[in-house]
Amino acid sequence: MRENRSSKTALDVLAARAVNTIAPQGLRVIQDRYAAGFLPAHWFPAKIYFRLAETFPVLYWLPRLIAKQVGIGADMLIALRHRFIDEHLLHHYRDGIRQVVLLGAGYDSRALRFRYPGLRFIEIDHPMTQRRKVRLMGSSGFPEHDALYFIPVDFTEDWLKTVADSGLIRQEPTLFIWEGVSYYLPCEAVAYTLEGVKNLTPPGSSLVFDFFPRELANENTGDVHMKRVQRYGAARGEHFLWGCDRDDIHGILCGHGFKNIRTTSIREFADHLNETHNMKIPVHAIFAYMILAQADF
């Protein structure tokens, strides 16, 4: 991503969460009531629209249509991966985890939505994106948080030292969340991040993240859908640089010392929600994966 400005894709995924938050039952998979608050000031008509949609759910369909026409129609994918991670955060909290580290946090509002006793959040992100978020959170509309910490870094640099020097990460089992980031990083930065998770905390920590197929990083792909997604990234100035096939991810994570690795496709997760929660999520053209791994070194 460009050094001199905050992430545009972070705003897009935020908008997708705001849209899903106003979805009717059966399609609503997340409830991110802080999402609209992070939208830029000049998006104020959208903010008003989202407020109105709380009362008139039918308004959901217009932004959904727009997302399909002008975007890549990935709003459901984004909502689903967020729900997947929310569920695991809850699960880990019940298991006793009290520290969450968000790698490439963007406008993630989990620190606000999961204000649970004893739970602390550390958000690590690009300085430009983080600066904008911190500024917004200082304004009205956001509750104060006494257990949320920020560390600005560039993942393409030697960022582990900055994080370690900050002294903010406690040596206790931790949940690392790396959502919507891996594919924007060069291969070496992905490997460095996986090593980082290993080096930052003691055994008992976990990592959850999403990834796209290797083909997405292939500039010469003949896959029309991948090309469309690549064009989206290029238009945002945030190119897709890394991808991995489902069969290969296990070996990569094992190579970094992870254990108990579980991969789920977003489609499988949607099927699961449809079956167990009586949802009606459309699952075609969703090609992302979620991975859960234990950092038991």
Ligand X SMILES: C[S@@+](CC[C@H](N)C(=O)[O-])C[C@H]1O[C@@H](n2cnc3c(N)ncnc32)[C@H](O)[C@@H]1O
Interface residues with ligand X (CB under 6 A) are: 1, 7, 9-10, 13, 104-108, 125-126, 129, 154-156, 179-181, 184
Provide, rounded to whole angstroms, the least separation between the CB of residue 108 and ligand X: 5
The residues, ordered by sequence, that sit 6+ positions from 268 with a Cβ below 8 Å of its Cβ are none
188 vs 248, which CB is nearer to ligand X? 188
Q: How far is the CB of 179 from ligand X (least distance, A)?
A: 4
**Could you tell me the smallest distance in angstroms from the CB atom of residue 44 to ligand X?**
21
How far apart CA 111 and CA 123 sit, in angstroms, is: 9
The per-residue b/e assignment along 26-62, b for 16 or more CB within 10 angstroms, e otherwise, is ebbbbebebbbbbbeeebeebeebbeebeeeeebbee
**Least distance from C-beta 126 to ligand X, angstroms?**
3
Question: What residue is closest to ligand X based on CB?
Answer: 106
- Our CB check for ligand X shows the closer of 158 and 219 to be 158
We find the least distance from the C-beta atom of residue 10 to ligand X, in angstroms, to be 4
Whole-angstrom Cα distance, residue 50 to residue 63? 10
Give all strands (DSSP E) within the chain, no chain letters.
Answer: 99-103, 120-125, 148-152, 175-178, 205-211, 259-265, 289-295
Residue 243, SS3 per DSSP: coil
52: Cβ–Cβ under 8 A, 6 or more apart, which residues?
59
| Cα separation, 39 vs 283, whole angstroms | 27
Q: Rounded to the nearest whole angstrom, what is the least distance from the CB of residue 240 to ligand X in the complex?
A: 11
Q: Which is nearer to ligand X, 10 or 293 (CB)?
A: 10
- Comparing CB distances to ligand X, the nearer of 17 and 64 is 17
Round to whole Å and give the CA distance between 82 and 66.
21
- Interatomic CA distance for residues 183 and 240, integer angstroms: 5
In sequence order, the β-bridge partners of residue 211 are 289
* Residue with smaller CB distance to ligand X, 85 or 270: 85
**Residue 114 to residue 36: CA distance in whole angstroms:** 17
- Of 281, 295, 257, which is closest to residue 75 (Cα–Cα)? 281
CA–centroid distance for 6 within its chain: 16
Tokens standing for residue 24: 């009717």
Nearer to ligand X, 1 or 76 (CB): 1
Our CB check for ligand X shows the closer of 154 and 296 to be 154
- Residue 117 has φ and ψ, to the nearest 5°, of -55, 125
In the complex, minimum distance from the CB of residue 58 to ligand X, in angstroms, rounded to a whole number: 27
Of 181 and 286, which CB lies nearer to ligand X in the complex structure? 181
Closest approach of Cβ 104 to ligand X, in Å?
3
